[in-house]
Amino acid sequence: MTGRRQRRAPPPASGLLDWRDSTHWSKREKPCRYCGFPTNLRDSKRSPAHKVCAEDALAIQAAEAAEAYQQNGQFSD
C-alpha cells in the first residue's frame, strides 16, 4: 500500500514572502524590528516582524545590491 503524498502549495509570487507556516506566529506580541509596532509575526530567525515590513526591507536590500553592482561591477576604461 502506498501512502498519499501531501501537495505543497505553489511558491509565492516573486517579491512575496510565504508565512503560512505556523512557525511565523507567536502568541506573544513584540515590537516589529522594522517599524516598532506590535506584531505576533516572526521572521525566519524568530525576530518579530510584520510580513509587509520584511518584504519592504528585502526590496530595499535588493535595490541597494543592484545599485552597488552597477557602480562597482562594471569595468572602467
Is 26 within a domain?
Answer: yes
Dist CA 72 CA 62 (whole Å): 15
Q: What domain range includes position 54?
A: 22-71
Candidates 16, 52, 2, 18; CA nearest to 32 is 52
pTM for this entry = 0.68
* Structural domain total, the chain: 1
> Kind and range of the H or E element at 55?
helix 51-72
Among residues 15, 11, 13, which one has the least CA distance to residue 61?
15
Residue with cell 509587509: 52
pLDDT at 72: 77
13, part of any domain? no
pLDDT at 75: 46
Residue 12 — φ and ψ, nearest 5°?
Answer: -65, 160
Residue 4: its pLDDT value, please? 64
Residue-wise pLDDT tens for the chain (77 aa)?
A: 556 665 555 555 556 788 888 999 999 999 999 999 999 999 989 999 999 999 999 999 989 888 888 887 654 45
Q: Is residue 15 part of a domain?
A: no
